[in-house]
Amino acid sequence: MANLWLDGQLDRIVAYNECDALTTYLVWLRLAHLGGHFDDREYAQEQQRVHELLQTEIAQGRT
């Protein structure tokens, strides 16, 4: 990350952090589901929300 910052590649830093945050959220969501904090329906709904968010981002040209 430091090299990207020094090279002024802020867009790559943002992309990495967005991906990292999403991955972390999906891991947390799975663990919360396995721990009983979400039932199967709620877990599926939240996964669908993430899917829809990603589809919206892709449709807007953000990949």
Question: What local confidence, expressed as pLDDT, does residue 51 receive?
Answer: 97
Which pLDDT score is estimated for 1? 85
Domain range holding 46? 2-59
In the chain, how many domains are there? 1
Alpha-carbon distance 47 to 63, whole Å? 19
d(CA 36, CA 30) in angstroms, rounded, equals: 10
Tens-digit pLDDT profile for the chain (63 aa)? 899 999 999 999 999 999 999 999 999 999 999 999 999 999 999 999 999 999 999 999 986
Q: What type of residue sits at position 48?
A: Q
pLDDT at 25: 98
Quote the pLDDT of residue 29.
98
Residues 13 and 2: their CA atoms lie apart, in Å, by 9
